[in-house]
């Protein structure tokens, strides 16, 4: 039950995006790193899903200034009888992110939106929303608007465009994007982010201070966990909290203990080669829907007016289901968008 919050309200930054990735803790995931997209040659910075053979991602940026963040849908089979709008698809949703980040540089965002919705590119994967745009493109108000593509939209006219105005804050989770948010976690997230930006401006916080406050927003925990709740009741409650404390049934906690046991002599995080999109994962801890579920990674992306990007990811769990103390699993990348 992921969440992405985006704001253009900070005067020193053209855009700020923050994200929680909620997932089964044992789902194998790399740390963020630079790699070359094949065959476009685009340099992409992201963590990558090691469970699916496509090695996709949920959030990434490129040296040329593209950004993409994906959320899936929280829905049941009863909601979704249309084979073109499958809950889970043959292809990984992570390929949708790579499709924009790795798209040839001459392809505009408008072209990409058109290709995704008018063609078959958004078919064959589970329900998703993709926030995507080109941070290099500026207007007199700031960055050129970002698109929110979904394979729940039937035509291009339904695509929302966000981020093109100053002083705005947006939120998206695991449902179709609407300006008038319905889910508690989005309503609360937008308010907390607005308050955080206001405080950061009033106190003239430096970048480190701002990042610490943004992580506090991502850590906001209002999940109503009860001792006798079933796993499904836990899942149904996820729309109420920005941060998701890990939860599982008895077998899930046993899986976590087994994974920790198994990984004692192994590295904390699994590595992948630069070009490994089609390599099979040898031992992805069995099925990925195993163990506890909760917030696995947190990411902050800052874009200033000179085109400098700060990308910071915080891992809360290692590859073997061991908790990582906040700050000890941080990785930071700084770069300037290439002209």
Between 53 and 156, the more confident residue is 156
Between 148 and 78, the more confident residue is 148
Q: How far are the Cα atoms of 17, 42, 93, 288 from residue 52, in angstroms, in the given order?
A: 26, 21, 10, 10
The answer to whether residue 237 scores a pLDDT higher than 60 is yes
Between 175 and 271, the more confident residue is 175
173 three-state secondary structure: coil
In angstroms, the CA 59 to CA 103 distance is: 15
CB atoms within 10 A of CB 20: 29
Between 333 and 142, the more confident residue is 333
Paired tokens of 336 = 């300037």
Domains of the chain by residue range? 3-336
Q: By mean pLDDT, which of 215-229, 286-300, 317-331 is the weakest?
A: 286-300
The answer to whether residue 312 scores a pLDDT higher than 80 is yes
The answer to whether residue 20 scores a pLDDT higher than 90 is yes
Instruction: Provide the pLDDT confidence category of residue 37 given band limits of 50, 70 and 90.
Output: very high
The answer to whether residue 75 scores a pLDDT higher than 70 is no
Instruction: Provide the pLDDT confidence category of residue 284 given band limits of 50, 70 and 90.
Output: very low
Per-residue model confidence (pLDDT) at position 87: 45
The answer to whether residue 278 scores a pLDDT higher than 50 is no
Express as a percent the part of the chain with pLDDT over 90.
66
Span 95-121, pLDDT tens digits: 899 999 999 888 999 999 998 888 766
In angstroms, the CA 333 to CA 339 distance is: 19
Contacts for 322 with CB less than 8 Å, ≥ 6 apart = 260, 263, 268
Between 148 and 233, the more confident residue is 148
Paired tokens of 34 = 């630079």
Per-residue model confidence (pLDDT) at position 122: 67
95-134 residues labelled b (16+ CB within 10 A) or e (exposed)? bbbbbbbbbeeeeebeebbebbbeeebbeebbbbbbbbbb
Express as a percent the part of the chain with pLDDT over 70.
88
* Strands 146-150, 161-162: pairing kind: antiparallel
Instruction: Provide the pLDDT confidence category of residue 337 given band limits of 50, 70 and 90.
Output: very high
Per-residue model confidence (pLDDT) at position 155: 81
In angstroms, the CA 161 to CA 255 distance is: 42
Helices and strands, number each (H, E), in the chain: 6, 15
Q: Which CATH architecture has domain 3-336?
A: 4-Layer Sandwich (3.60)
């Amino acid at each position: 039950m992921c969440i992405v919050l985006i704001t253009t309200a900070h005067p020193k930054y053209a855009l700020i995006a923050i994200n929680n990735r909620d997932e089964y803790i044992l789902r194998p995931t790399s740390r963020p790193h630079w790699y070359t997209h094949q065959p476009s040659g685009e340099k992409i910075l992201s963590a990558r899903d090691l469970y699916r053979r496509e090695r996709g991602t949920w959030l990434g940026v490129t040296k040329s200034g593209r950004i993409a963040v994906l959320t899936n849908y929280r829905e049941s089979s009863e909601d979704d009888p249309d084979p073109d709008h499958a809950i889970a698809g043959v292809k990984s949703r992570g390929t949708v992110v790579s499709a924009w980040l790795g798209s040839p540089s001459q392809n505009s965002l408008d072209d990409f939106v058109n290709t995704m919705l008018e063609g078959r590119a958004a078919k064959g994967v589970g329900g998703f929303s993709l926030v995507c745009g080109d941070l290099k493109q500026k207007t007199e108000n700031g960055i050129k608007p970002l698109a929110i593509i979904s394979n729940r939209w039937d035509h291009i006219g339904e695509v929302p465009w966000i981020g093109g105005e100053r002083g705005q804050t947006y939120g998206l989770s695991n449902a179709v994007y609407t300006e008038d948010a319905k889910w508690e976690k989005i309503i609360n997230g937008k308010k907390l982010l607005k308050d955080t930006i206001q405080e950061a401006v009033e106190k003239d916080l430096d970048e480190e201070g701002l990042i610490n406050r943004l992580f506090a927003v991502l850590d906001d925990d209002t999940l109503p966990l009860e001792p006798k709740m079933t796993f499904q009741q836990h899942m149904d409650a996820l729309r109420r909290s920005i941060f998701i404390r890990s939860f599982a049934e008895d077998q899930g906690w046993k899986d976590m203990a087994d994974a920790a046991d198994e990984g004692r002599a192994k590295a904390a995080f699994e590595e992948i080669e630069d070009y490994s999109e089609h390599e099979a994962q040898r031992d992805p801890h069995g099925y990925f829907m195993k163990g506890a579920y909760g917030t696995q990674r947190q990411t902050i992306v800052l874009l200033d007016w000179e085109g400098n990007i700060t990308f910071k990811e915080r891992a809360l769990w290692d590859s073997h289901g061991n908790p990582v103390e906040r700050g000890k699993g941080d990785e930071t990348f700084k770069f300037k968008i290439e002209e």
